[in-house]
Amino acid sequence: MIAVTTAGDYDFIVGIIEYLSSRHGIRFFISSGDFDLLYGWWEKGIPRNVMETAVDRVVARRRMRRLPVTAFAQFRYEVRRQHAAWLERGIGGPPVPAPESDPVGSFMESFPDELESLRPRFEAAAQCHRRGEDVNLDELRNELVELFKSDRELAVRVKAFMQNLSPELRRSTVERVYRANFLWSRFAIPDFAPVKENA
């Protein structure tokens, strides 16, 4: 049963699948069971960096043992372990230090030429970010996808990604999220979440 209904869960699910592919060069057929498992992790609120750490560790172990990665079920134990460690650090551990750099400011200073037509939109998002306001990136992500609708590299990657999904998962919404996430990653676009005072 596939219970995916919002853009946030698609972002999470597609982002983890893409991370496994781009970081480790691993692609396998994504079944509805894989999709449901990823959805369950999203429902638990497991942060993306915790997921990526779990993925990195499992892939490293399986490569050392010369075992293939063929399903997301192979990550279940490590995801649970990393999530528990993250929760423990968050509750009783030392506070996580805030990053010293400003990723949004750095991105705007070295703004990619290929995105020049979207500069005003990114500048508006950066201003909201600096003021601590929530930034709705849905329109910006849609404009980014539209800007690169004829991009050949993206078309090839999208085709490969969609072919690796089981037929019931090959939805236009999933494809659109994949396109946006791939472009976000290609240009190293930072998180525009608002800066919280005294967090």
Phi, psi (rounded to 5 degrees) for 54:
-65, -45
- The parent domain of residue 21 ranges over 7-186
Please report the pLDDT score of residue 90 as a whole number: 66
Q: Is residue 42 part of a domain?
A: yes
Asked whether residue 148 is domain-assigned, the answer is yes
- For 194, other C-beta atoms within 10 Å of its C-beta total 14
pLDDT, residue 146, reads: 92
Q: Does residue 112 form part of some domain?
A: yes
Is residue 54 very low, low, confident or very high in pLDDT (cuts 50, 70, 90)?
A: very high
Q: What is the DSSP letter of 100?
A: S
Residue 1 lies in a domain: no
In a domain, 50, yes or no: yes
| pLDDT for 7 beyond 70 | no
In whole numbers, what is the pLDDT of the chain averaged over residues? 82
Residue 98 pLDDT > 70: no
Residue 85 vs residues 61, 81, 90, 92: alpha-carbon distances, Å: 19, 6, 9, 11
Whether pLDDT at 39 is above 90:
no
> Could you tell me if residue 197 is inside a domain?
no
At residue 117, what are phi and psi to the nearest 5 degrees?
-65, -20
CB atoms within 10 A of CB 160: 11
Measure the CA–CA gap between 57 and 74, rounded to whole angstroms: 11
Q: Is residue 58 situated within a structural domain?
A: yes
Quote the number of domains for the chain.
1
105 has pLDDT over 70: yes
Residue 184: is its pLDDT beyond 80?
A: yes
User: Can you tell me the distance from the alpha carbon of 126 to that of 91, in angstroms, rounded to the nearest whole number?
Assistant: 31
Query: Residue 8: what pLDDT?
Result: 66
Which pLDDT score, from 0 to 100, does residue 191 have? 80
Q: Is residue 66 part of a domain?
A: yes
pLDDT tens-place string over residues 69-94: 999 999 999 998 888 888 877 654 44
| pLDDT band at residue 198 using 50, 70 and 90 as cut-offs | very low
Position 157 pLDDT exceeds 50: yes
Asked if 81 contacts 50 with a C-beta cutoff of 8 angstroms, the reply is no
